[in-house]
Amino acid sequence: MGYMAKESRYDTMQYNRCGKSGLKLPAVSLGLWHNFGSKDNYDMMKNLCFTAFDNGITHFDLANNYGFPAVGKAEENFGSALRDGLGRYRDELFISTKAGFDFWPGPYGNWGSRKYLMASLDSSLKRMGLEYVDVFYHHRPDPETPLEETMGALSDMVRQGKALYVGISNYQAEEAEAAIRILRENKTPCLLHQPRYNMFERWAEDGLFELLDREGVGCICYSPLAQGALTGRYLDGIPEGSRASKEGTTVGGRYLTEDKLVKIRALNKMAGERGQSLAQMALAWVLRRKEVTSVLIGASSIAQLEDNAKALDSPAFSCEELADIEGILKG
């Protein structure tokens, strides 16, 4: 009979309105950036997807280049999970993909040209075995291609029925404002912006959140746990098999400096005093902002996934606690 989702899957998850759209997304979504590559265990990937959906996580986030070291492999593996049972719930799923980083060799496999984006979406649909994605993002701004060309390609994806919605990722406030305006003029409003946002990387606070709130665009934050640094896993070094120990990751240099480890240990102590894990507190801290629709988590185990989902049970932060966190981060 294969996989059958739990009837209780919607009982505990919180769903937030995505900007001013008619769409709601789970407060916690599953990203397939890591742990869904050619060197990872497929049965674990499949069970992570099943467990996520059983816990009310309806949103699965991908990109054409996910699946290190073989780009596209994450979409292939997710397509297999769909065929192995998850796909019978397609109408209950919200699936996204992106393009904008290196994919093919040559001049047509990167950035934001119409040729690259249209071809990339077609190849993503083939890898996942889908007729459409729920949202397609331009993955990063292109300094050379006219924004009208890039946004025009996204708008045509909606008109062709290959994407229900479109969004942008990694756009600074000024760039995002222009993209949002063009998409609105094209009558294909920007549904979501996906910035990197966590306790250590807060550029989205420099005008982007204010813009998204004003324009009625949803926000889904990636790397809310600083690629695992804010899970407590690295308090005593880098364990074998962890994300930071794998080839091709940037966790160590980006987040595991001695200065940041001192802060992580202090944050971990504070989380314990709140009766939760560091990961749960870090996710709740991102979700504290009214502009944030959802946070994207990655998971390498069922236990990690279920622990992260419990961030929604977190007690609200007091003003004193938020001030204490700021003190730790600035210390």
pLDDT on residue 48: 98
Q: Residue 311: which of 293, 299, 295, 323 has the closest Cα?
A: 295
Residues of the chain with pLDDT under 70: 237-253
pTM of the model: 0.95
User: Which pLDDT value is given to residue 267?
Assistant: 97
Buried b (16+ CB within 10 A) or exposed e, 83-104: eebbbeeeeebbbbbbbbbebe
pLDDT of 115 reads 98
| Contacts with 327 (C-beta within 8 Å, 6 or more apart), sequence order | none
Q: What is the pLDDT of residue 254?
A: 76
At residue 324, the pLDDT reads 98
Q: Which two tokens stand for residue 9?
A: 């899957």
Separation between Cα atoms, residue 150 and residue 118, nearest integer Å: 10
Q: pLDDT tens digits for 239-290? A: 665 555 555 565 656 788 889 999 999 999 999 999 999 999 999 999 999 9
What per-residue confidence (pLDDT) applies to 243? Answer: 58
CA gap 85, 78 in Å, rounded: 11
**For position 246, what pLDDT does the model report?**
55
CATH 3.40.50.1110 fits domain 15-256+277-315 = no
pLDDT at 320: 98
| Annotated domain spans of the chain | 15-256+277-315
Q: Rounded distance, CA 68 to CA 34, Å?
A: 7
Q: What gap in Å lies between CA 132 and CA 217, rounded to an integer?
A: 22
